[in-house]
Chain A
Amino acid sequence: MIEIVVRKFHIDGIPISIYEQIDGTLKPVIFSFHGFDGYKDGDYFKREDELARRGFIVIGIDTILHGERRIPVFDSKPYDEKMKDIHHCVIQTAMDAIQLYEKYIRFMPRVMKDAVYAIGVSMGGAISIYMATIYPLIKAVSIVGSPSMIEFYQLKQEKYQWSKDFYYERNLAYLDRFDPFEHAHQLKCPLFLTAGMMDQVIPCSLVSKFIHPKVTFKLYDTGHMPNQAQFDDAYAFLLSKEDV
């Protein structure tokens, strides 16, 4: 029987869940990032459990303004209004993850030093991709996430008919410094990207554009809701010794 131990606590104001098998061996760490309007531990594909079974110490964290970090003043806004701040959530959460690792996690028992991975779905995929451009991960996976911040933001402006006001323009201009698409030369590790052929939220054309020697892209016959095959391929990619 494989027993997975889950510890949930908050540190520095950030709620985290740690999933692991406690069998006396050192294990690599993988961050697992959820999607927009979601929360840690809330995915029915149970990727945290599966990754723990496959030998990782899995760290799930609530993205800022999400899960147990929700605040009424933000949460009460309409969905499309909240979407205007999506990249703040992406950037801040990648920085939170790096800080949590450097400050605490790397010093925890059973943690294999300097062996950090990331996986995420949708917005969580964007966090994983961004993190791969600013931190020396071993590998990263994005399931139906966008590697582009600027084009994604412009797409949402069109979709939700946001006014091109000061807030929109400043956010758009600010993304220049962070957009993984614009800073692809900073990609530090092999990256696996998935997209759904019928995805209306993150069109597959937005993902397939990210052509880079370190990127593996795979298209699936799905919409924005990923299927099991995407996770199975992601696990195979993470566990493969190639490119590591």
Chain B
Amino acid sequence: MSIKISDHLFDGVPCTIYQKEDSKTKPLIYFFHGFTGNKDANIMGRGEVLAELGFCVVAIDAYLHGQRMSILERHRSNIDKYQDIIEIVIHTAQDAKRLFDKYFKYMPNIQPEVYYAYGVSMGSLTAFYLATIDEALKAMVGLVCTPSFVEYYRDKASLYGFNTGFFYERKLAWYQPIDPMNQLDKLKHKRIFMGIGIHDDVVNPKYAKNLHELLPETILKSYETGHVSTPEMLEDSYRFLKLEVFHD
């Protein structure tokens, strides 16, 4: 069966929707891309595969990314933009929550009660944060992932040299109470699959391992790779979703 791909703009948020052209009501799954990426270039075939599994896949451009990038943002260096990575995550998760609540759950082809998320790198953090703010998110996949706001931001700030000053301190203080790592009671009822590269030097696997230690019911799989979604990782993530969502 062919997959229909369509572009939309909801509340100024560009979305690409992938779904099988049949009359079935489908569970929605968000696809969240990584830092400096966009919804189209970074999905790399996963939209079609997830649609083939039976999902209505909604890939959205993260805040300040893709078609949501203003001229001002285009002129910022990646390191400068990195200072706002957690705000990008928070804003995008809030968009996803609102769009489901305002539009998607009222679409006749979409199951209205629950939805799912699939995030890669920064997109995984979006999925983790979304899981803490929306009860309707039932299960998620995070690849080359991090569930941490504070520790992750602190590490990146040290690496890139923006780890001092008023704004840095205020950001850290703001992240502390809403960090998914400090919201375990909100995560413990979700089904979570994490895939990590043991040689990942972009997103250190320690953040996912820390979460798994605190919530052993999460699934953590390590792969002999770096900051890359390997075919094996993808297959495992699809198998997880098939089992969790379609009981297959």
A residues adjacent to B (C-beta < 8 A): 10-13, 15, 64-65, 68-74, 85, 88, 103-104, 107-108, 166-167, 170-171, 174
Tell me whether A71 and B170 are in contact in the complex, defined as CB-CB below 8 angstroms, given that A10-B72, A13-B84, A170-B103 are known contacts: no
Tell me whether A107 and B170 are in contact in the complex, defined as CB-CB below 8 angstroms, given that A72-B67, A73-B67, A174-B102 are known contacts: yes
Q: A residues within 8 A CB of B174?
A: 103
Q: Are B73 and A65 neighbours in the complex by a CB distance under 8 Å?
A: no
- Determine which of A13, A65, A73, A171 lies in contact with B87 in the assembled complex, contact meaning CB atoms within 8 Å: A13
Within B47-91, which residues are at the interface with A (CB < 8 Å)? 63-64, 67-73, 84, 87-88, 91
Q: Indicate whether B167 reaches chain A with its CB closer than 8 angstroms.
A: yes
Q: A residues within 8 A CB of B67?
A: 71-73
- Contact digits for B101-117, partner A, Cβ 8 Å, 1 yes 0 no: 01100110000000000
- Determine which of A12, A71, A107, A108 lies in contact with B70 in the assembled complex, contact meaning CB atoms within 8 Å: A71
Q: How many Å from the CB of B147 to the closest CB on chain A?
A: 21
Q: How many Å from the CB of A13 to the closest CB on chain B?
A: 5
Instruction: Give Cα A70 to B72, complex, Å.
Output: 9
Instruction: Give Cα A44 to B151, complex, Å.
Output: 46
Q: Indicate whether B14 reaches chain A with its CB closer than 8 angstroms.
A: yes
Q: A residues within 8 A CB of B64?
A: 13
B residues adjacent to A (C-beta < 8 A): 9-12, 14, 63-64, 67-73, 84, 87-88, 91, 102-103, 106-107, 166-167, 170-171, 174
Q: B residues within 8 A CB of A10?
A: 72
Q: How many Å from the CB of A105 to the closest CB on chain B?
A: 10
Chain A contact surface mostly: helix
Q: Are A85 and B12 neighbours in the complex by a CB distance under 8 Å?
A: yes
Q: Are B12 and A71 neighbours in the complex by a CB distance under 8 Å?
A: yes
Instruction: Give Cα A171 to B103, complex, Å.
Output: 8
Q: Are A68 and B70 neighbours in the complex by a CB distance under 8 Å?
A: yes
- Determine which of A13, A68, A103 lies in contact with B91 in the assembled complex, contact meaning CB atoms within 8 Å: A13
Q: Are B12 and A88 neighbours in the complex by a CB distance under 8 Å?
A: yes
Q: How many Å from the CB of A49 to the closest CB on chain B?
A: 23
Q: Are B12 and A74 neighbours in the complex by a CB distance under 8 Å?
A: yes
Tell me whether A107 and B63 are in contact in the complex, defined as CB-CB below 8 angstroms, given that A15-B72, A68-B72, A88-B12 are known contacts: no
Q: A residues within 8 A CB of B170?
A: 103-104, 107
Q: Are B63 and A71 neighbours in the complex by a CB distance under 8 Å?
A: no
Q: Are A107 and B88 neighbours in the complex by a CB distance under 8 Å?
A: no
Q: Are A12 and B69 neighbours in the complex by a CB distance under 8 Å?
A: no
Q: How many Å from the CB of B179 to the closest CB on chain A?
A: 15
Instruction: Give Cα A86 to B171, complex, Å.
Output: 29
Q: A residues within 8 A CB of B166?
A: 104, 107-108
Instruction: Give Cα A166 to B10, complex, Å.
Output: 11
Q: How many Å from the CB of A7 to the closest CB on chain B?
A: 13
Instruction: Give Cα A68 to B156, complex, Å.
Output: 27
- Determine which of B11, B71, B88 lies in contact with A13 in the assembled complex, contact meaning CB atoms within 8 Å: B88
Q: How many Å from the CB of A17 to the closest CB on chain B?
A: 13
Instruction: Give Cα A108 to B174, complex, Å.
Output: 15
The 7 closest A-B pairs by CB, nearest first: A12-B87, A88-B11, A68-B72, A73-B67, A74-B12, A65-B12, A103-B174
Measured CB to CB, the nearest residue on chain B to A69 is B70
Q: Are B72 and A170 neighbours in the complex by a CB distance under 8 Å?
A: no
Measured CB to CB, the nearest residue on chain A to B64 is A13
Q: B residues within 8 A CB of A85?
A: 11-12
Q: Are A68 and B87 neighbours in the complex by a CB distance under 8 Å?
A: no
Interface centre among B68, B70, B170 (most CB of A within 10 A): B70
Q: B residues within 8 A CB of A65?
A: 12
Q: B residues within 8 A CB of A11?
A: 84, 167
Q: How many Å from the CB of B81 to the closest CB on chain A?
A: 9
Q: Are A12 and B84 neighbours in the complex by a CB distance under 8 Å?
A: yes
Q: A residues within 8 A CB of B12?
A: 64-65, 71, 73-74, 85, 88
Q: A residues within 8 A CB of B87?
A: 12-13
Q: B residues within 8 A CB of A108?
A: 166
Q: Are A170 and B102 neighbours in the complex by a CB distance under 8 Å?
A: yes
A-B pairs with beta carbons under 8 Å apart, 21 shown: A10-B72, A13-B63, A13-B91, A64-B12, A65-B12, A68-B70, A68-B72, A69-B70, A70-B71, A71-B12, A73-B12, A73-B67, A85-B11, A103-B171, A104-B166, A107-B166, A107-B170, A166-B107, A167-B10, A167-B103, A170-B102
